[in-house]
Chains A and B, each alone.
Chain A
Amino acid sequence: MLKRVHFPSSPLPYLLVAPQIIVTLVFFMWPASQALYQSLLIEDAFGLSSEFVWFENFAALADDEQYLSTFWRTAVFSSLVAFLSMSVALILAGFADRVVKGATTYRTLLIWPYAVAPVLAGALWVFMFNPTLGIFPYFLDMIGIKWNHYLNGRQAMGLVIGAAAWKQVAYNFLFYLAAMQSIPRSIIEAAAIDGAGPVRRFWTQTLPLISPTTFFLIVINVVYAFFETFGIIHVVTQGGPASSTTILVYKVFNDGFVGLDLGGSAAQSVILMVIVIVMTVVQFRYVEKKVEY
């Protein structure tokens, strides 16, 4: 935690932490406490008066069918994004790990989508799936599928999941490949001598040995799907059609900035904060475990 020897006390350390602490106080602590406070208020539509209502906003959310279904939708969305991007990454990493020469080249070719902003990923996919011009609707039409994510909620959901998962494959691939490359070669060779073929080795040796990475990636991907996919949804579907792609983060934004329901939006913020805190704690417990391991 601290060095055995340190500099004598002086005002200097306070000056050094001051910028970070000031930014934290002004832009983190204060807004967060404001969100907490506002979540206990109901404001009229013009923002002229407000009333302290204790937990009414939360009670209202608990009764709000729409909010509950948003919760459910977010869960489905996040698990599908995590599952899709992780399984594609796992397969690619499994093969890349077998490559003796050129593994780095494949890595280079596979990791760059990490650098693409979520909103740009959304823009690329919305163009590919543009109902009139897009290349995919054109081919889908040939096999008799009418594609229009502006009207079809399921197709809209599929599109945002696809775009979100596509962007995240790079990240997962990187961590999976690193995990696989850190498995001692001798373990795999021992399994091969025991007569296990490549596929069997992957299931019985590689997969169990990289399970800590899998767990870590699940947490990271769920956090990603919860918060960072805002841009994708905003540009691809704007939560529609008929709220079919509205996830929690999008709803906080939409109710607050578009619907101007400050109390309700703040209450949702508070719930989201609780979720983030739980996820962060889970993530840290994992890191601790890994250190022991």
Chain B
Amino acid sequence: MVENRPIMTFITHLVLVLGVAMIALPIWITLVAASHDEIRMLQAPIPMLPGTHFIDNLKQTLWGAGLSGDQTPVWRMLFNSLAMAMMISVGKIAISLISAFAIVYFKFPFRMGFFWMIFITLMLPVEVRILPTFEVVANLGMLNSYWGLSIPLIASATATFMFRQVFLTIPDEMLESARIDGAGPMRFFWDILLPLSRTNIAALFVILFIYGWNQYLWPLLITTDTDMTTIVMSIKQMLESAEQSPQWNIIMMTAFLAMLPPILVVVGMQKLFVQGLTETDK
């Protein structure tokens, strides 16, 4: 700051604190709602300060049947979400790493053709080709499976581009030196390339984990079996059932549990998260 007037400093912090409060308000209300009992949450105005039932609600949400009528416990949904997020992020990273490796370090016919084919996927978000993709997955018998949840989403132009960029900045002499040392392609990939891209992989993982965890439309379409429900998509069903028997404390606890893992990832790995975000969008 150039000027050092106390009044300016005060205003600066005031605005920022208000901003933080505004951004945090929805989650505060969620937490408060998740800490009261069912009865209290049916009386307007709803409370603004935390109650004492947080742990009870947490237990009931995680291990109880969740909402009446819904047979899938929330821990199962959390597990499904975790499985989907991990499969999507690890899958995306793995196939992007190897295809970027092939495109940068090998000269082979149709190299550019493959490159453009991967590029095309950038232009086709799942939302715009949802119906025919659903048909393909149905025909392959992948409905209601972890494979069906993750594989159609793991082709990634952005990740391939990013790794291509990373590989291009690694000096050519690394490869030459490794070849003189006697390392073949895969050995070079494991011993040199992977360790050198470690932070990029971690940064990308943070972004992709969030992307995978937060998938909504896709799991909604391809899972009909309640055992395959993910936590994020369960919110919709809960809100629908809330119209008959509103258990807002449980709904909000579920919402809280659904957003907790990605928030922890963002806050805990902030540096990697920022790096990943700025790298993939360039």
A→B interface (CB under 8 Å)? 1-7, 9-10, 12-14, 16-17, 19-21, 23-32, 34-35, 38, 88, 91-92, 95-96, 98-100, 106-121, 123-128, 132-135, 138, 166, 169-171, 174-175, 178, 188-189, 192, 198, 201, 216, 220, 227, 230-231, 234-235, 249, 252-253, 256-257, 262, 265-266, 269, 272-273, 276-277, 280, 287
Contact = CB atoms under 8 A, between A and B. Distances in A.
A227 B12 CA distance: 35
Interface residues of B, number: 100
B114 A92 contact: no
6 shortest interchain CB distances as A-B pairs: A31-B132, A117-B214, A115-B262, A34-B132, A16-B102, A13-B106
9 contacts: A31-B133, A95-B19, A110-B19, A110-B23, A116-B259, A123-B239, A133-B44, A174-B277, A192-B3
Contacts of A170: 23
A3 B105 contact: yes
Interface in B73-94: 94
Contacts of A253: 127, 130, 217
Contact of A120 (B8, B128, B258): B258
A126 B239 contact: yes
A272 B95 contact: no
A220 to B, nearest CB: 7
Given A35-B131, A133-B46, A13 B102 contact: yes
Interface of B: 1-3, 8, 12-13, 15-16, 19-20, 23-27, 29-30, 33, 41-42, 44-46, 48, 94-96, 98-99, 101-108, 111, 114, 117-118, 120-125, 127-133, 135-137, 140, 151-152, 154-155, 160, 168, 172, 175-176, 179, 185-186, 210, 213-214, 216-217, 221, 232-233, 235-236, 239, 246, 248, 251-252, 255, 258-259, 262-263, 265-267, 270, 273-274, 277-278, 281-282
B24 A109 contact: yes
Interface residues of chain B: helix, strand, loop or mixed (majority): helix
B20 A124 contact: no
B124 A19 contact: no
Given A114-B210, A116-B262, A230-B217, A30 B121 contact: no
A99 B95 contact: no
B151 to A, nearest CB: 6
Given A118-B214, A249-B127, A280-B122, 16 more contacts: A9-B106, A13-B106, A16-B99, A26-B140, A27-B133, A32-B124, A95-B16, A120-B259, A124-B27, A128-B26, A135-B46, A169-B23, A189-B2, A234-B216, A235-B235, A252-B128
